[in-house]
């Protein structure tokens, strides 16, 4: 069995295990014990600040840049606080903040191309969120597992996880969270060939994002921006074969809602170039890919590497031109 097939099978077993959430009273029992360190809201705020800083760096430069720093922070500082003494209310906030950090590390591992490690961190994030009693965080971690299952082409598992994610977040008041989870379900349904569900979820996600404020909130799902929604929606439309709608959404992500992180902007540009090429706009696609390479410099991400490889595979099939030659030379010169 090759590694991808093995991870796909593992994703089914480990991912679906997340649907059986652990004992939500674990924090209550932990709060009754005596630990070596007293933990308060200051430690919780520290975790959230570090998660924001590390997440910003990863969004700009890729998950490979700072994962080891995030892991060290988790296993040294945060572990000491988890093993400490705290009230029940502080314990729930502590577990919620730790769930966000663990989710970030899972995302970083996935962005490095380590899917097996990523799924273990996402599962741990689900467990921490459930113990904290935080439905939004649990749904967000399930979303990470669903996305990973799609990447591994383990589609039935992805659909079950995405459906559970959307159901868990259905009654949340946060419109960004609802859009986040519904687009995930739409992506899984599109991968499964279920056009009816995909279109229904796409429409519902759009309604939710149109109700959402532009500024980010405090929670992880609240950072789901209008730009990210437009990018994901564009790629779902592309999967469904509506290339005009796909290109419209990708331009919306870049030009109207803006994407100020180099890694994120580069990925959208790579996707946009592919859609433009499929629509027969070769010169425009080549120019878009040139912008992609500009943004991708110095970014360490499996998504960037895949984008470069996909472009390189298509260039030899295009008519010879100065633009094609320039892209081939730039790709060959990449470290």
* Average pLDDT of the residues in 167-184: 93
The pLDDT of residue 66: 83
Q: What is the DSSP string of 116-174?
A: HHHHHHHHHHHHHHHHHT-HHHHHHHHHHHHHHHHHTT-HHHHHHHHHHHHHHHTT-S-
Q: What CA–CA distance (Å, rounded) separates 174 from 108?
A: 25
| Coil/strand/helix, residue 38 | strand
Of 26, 24, 30, the C-alpha closest to 87 is: 30
User: Are 162 and 143 within 8 A, CB to CB?
Assistant: yes
296-317 pLDDT per residue, tens: 988 888 999 999 999 999 999 9
Whole-number Cα distances in Å, 160 to 156, 165, 278: 6, 9, 31
CATH code of 1-169, in short, is: 1.25.40
Give me the residue spans of the domains in the chain.
Answer: 1-169, 171-255, 261-335
132-169 pLDDT per residue, tens: 888 899 899 899 999 999 988 999 999 999 999 999 88
pTM across the whole model: 0.86
Q: Return the number of other C-beta atoms located less than 10 Å from residue 5's C-beta.
A: 12
- Segment among 60-64, 113-117, 321-325 with least mean pLDDT: 60-64
């Amino acid at each position: 069995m090759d590694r991808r097939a093995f991870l796909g099978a593992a994703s089914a077993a480990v991912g679906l295990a997340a649907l059986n959430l652990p004992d939500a009273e674990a924090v209550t029992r932990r709060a009754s014990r005596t630990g070596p360190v007293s933990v308060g809201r200051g430690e919780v705020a520290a975790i959230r600040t570090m998660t924001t800083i590390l997440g910003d760096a990863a969004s700009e430069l890729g998950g490979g840049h700072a994962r080891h720093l995030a892991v060290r922070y988790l296993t040294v500082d945060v572990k000491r606080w988890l093993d400490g003494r705290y009230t029940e209310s502080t314990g729930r906030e502590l577990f919620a903040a730790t769930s966000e950090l663990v989710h970030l590390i899972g995302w970083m591992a996935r962005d490095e191309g380590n899917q097996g490690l990523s799924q273990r961190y996402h599962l741990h994030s689900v467990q921490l969120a459930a113990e904290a009693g935080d439905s939004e965080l649990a749904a967000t971690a399930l979303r990470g597992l669903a996305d990973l299952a799609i990447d591994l082409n383990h589609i039935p598992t992805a659909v079950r996880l995405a459906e559970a994610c959307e159901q868990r977040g259905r009654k949340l008041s946060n419109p960004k969270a609802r859009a986040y989870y519904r687009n995930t379900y739409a992506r899984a349904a599109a991968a499964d060939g279920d056009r009816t569900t995909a279109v229904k979820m796409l429409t519902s996600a759009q309604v939710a994002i149109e109700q959402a404020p532009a500024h980010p909130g405090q929670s992880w799902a609240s950072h789901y921006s209008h730009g990210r929604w437009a990018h994901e929606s564009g790629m779902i439309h592309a999967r469904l074969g509506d290339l005009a709608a796909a290109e419209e959404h990708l331009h919306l992500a870049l030009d109207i809602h803006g994407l100020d992180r180099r890694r994120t902007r580069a990925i959208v540009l790579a996707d946009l170039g592919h859609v433009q090429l499929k629509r027969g706009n070769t010169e425009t696609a080549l120019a878009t890919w040139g912008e992609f390479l500009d943004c991708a410099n110095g970014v360490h991400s499996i998504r960037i590497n895949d984008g470069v490889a996909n472009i390189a595979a298509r260039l030899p099939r295009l008519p010879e031109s100065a633009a094609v030659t320039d892209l081939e030379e730039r790709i060959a010169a990449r470290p």
